[in-house]
Structure 1
């Protein structure tokens, strides 16, 4: 799935960071505590500064959602958009 495996960091402890996310119009403080013991694919994307690459990557990931679910992998996508976008 990766075009260049050097781009992926596999089987490493998740870095700690604080972030606010919006789900169904409600703001939440994010925590990795909900995902302890699970494999996570943390996907950062930047549509504003790189509009040509990101849609292709997002479409590829979307097409492979069944595989992620079968492998019990959590996919988390993070953009640099404002939470009000």
Structure 2
């Protein structure tokens, strides 16, 4: 069942900070890709981040089908992000 009008909606500016997050992520990725040899410890974090992103590619599709699977995926993505840190 699809709902036309939700009883509670987030205010548009409440999520505007995500735009800043994405800009910083894009700038950081561009810097790391342009100078991978000079980026300190990039090799150490590249594999865990790639695995985390690979799992994340399927997250939205899985979220529509199985909450239990999505929970496991989030935990695996957290492990990858923590390993990268």
Q: What TM-score, normalized by structure 2, do the two folds share? A: 0.31
Q: Which has the higher helix share?
A: 2
Q: Which has the higher strand share?
A: 1
Q: Radius of gyration: which is bigger?
A: 2
Q: What TM-score, normalized by structure 1, do the two folds share? A: 0.31
Structure with higher RCO (Cα < 8 A, 6+ apart): 1
